[in-house]
Amino acid sequence: MSDWSLPRLFESLHRKIDTELSGARDALNHPGTKGDTSEAVWVGLLKTYLPERYRVCSAHVVDSNGPFSEQIDVVIFDRQYSPFVFDFLGAKVVPAESVYAVFEAKQSINAAMIEYAREKVASVRTLHRTSIPIPTASGHAAPGSPKHIIGGLITLESDWKNPPLGAALLSKLDTDLCDLKRLDLGCVAAHGVFGFNAATGTNDHTCSSCATTKFLLELIARLQMLGTVPMMDVRAYSRWVDT
């Protein structure tokens, strides 16, 4: 009989990420360096474990009318049907049509960080997204509707104590449930995960000793439910060439 164990594998994955996040917090003194390192840990996790159809990076998001989002710590986007990513000396820009999910990565969750993450998420969701008919063997299918962009906040710790995930967190999350600013999914690596439950219209949380693994699997499940982003109109962007 095999010595492999799913519980041990999941625990090992969580322990690796938790150790890296804790190391960034404890060993690095400069706030910017600490933030960049934590961001890189989350990006590395998702790059490794998300299906190949998805790409992950820190980036700005742009639409075909010209507006840009704020800088986003973690952008999950399509490269199967979205043809380009701008990359200039490491500064990346992705088209709004390609985006599946965006997350802010911080050291700790609190009321101010929730508001901050909401504004960052909204700066992406407000962007215009094109959609054109899809060619198939039996003709052109109607343009698909843009998907709801998953937005969230991922941290190592919680500034709330007793409990770190509880009524105070949920009360803050429930203060703004509009599609534009809602946080759909989050992780506090040291304590658990939280998320918006579309069936009940409320937020809930789950304490877990393997929070990052639980977050990863829940994120993949939610991405599966989104399906594939619609086909973007590349010519809508080309009008900016030579202007």
Q: pLDDT tens digit string along 75-112?
A: 999 988 787 778 877 789 999 999 999 999 999 999 99
pLDDT at res. 21: 80
> For the chain, how long is the longest CA-to-CA vector?
67
- DSSP-based three-state secondary structure for 242: coil
Beta-carbon contacts of 4 under 8 Å, excluding residues fewer than 6 positions away, are: none
The catalytic residue among 18, 63, 106, 172 is 106
Measuring CA to CA, which residue among 150, 180, 151, 153 is closest to residue 169? Answer: 153
159 is catalytic: no
- For the residues 159-174, what does the mean pLDDT come to? 93
pTM for this entry: 0.91
Which helix (H) or strand (E) segment holds residue 43: the answer is: helix 31-49
119 is catalytic: no
Residue ranges per domain, the chain?
7-128+146-229
Beta-carbon contacts of 18 under 8 Å, excluding residues fewer than 6 positions away, are: 156, 189, 190, 211, 212
Integer-rounded Cα Rg, in Å, for the chain is 19
Which has the higher per-residue pLDDT, 54 or 79?
54
157 is catalytic: no
pLDDT at res. 11: 87
E strand segments, 159-200: 185-188, 192-197
The catalytic residue among 39, 73, 97, 157 is 73
Arithmetic mean of pLDDT over the chain:
89
Residue 171 pLDDT grade (very low, low, confident, very high; cuts 50, 70, 90):
very high
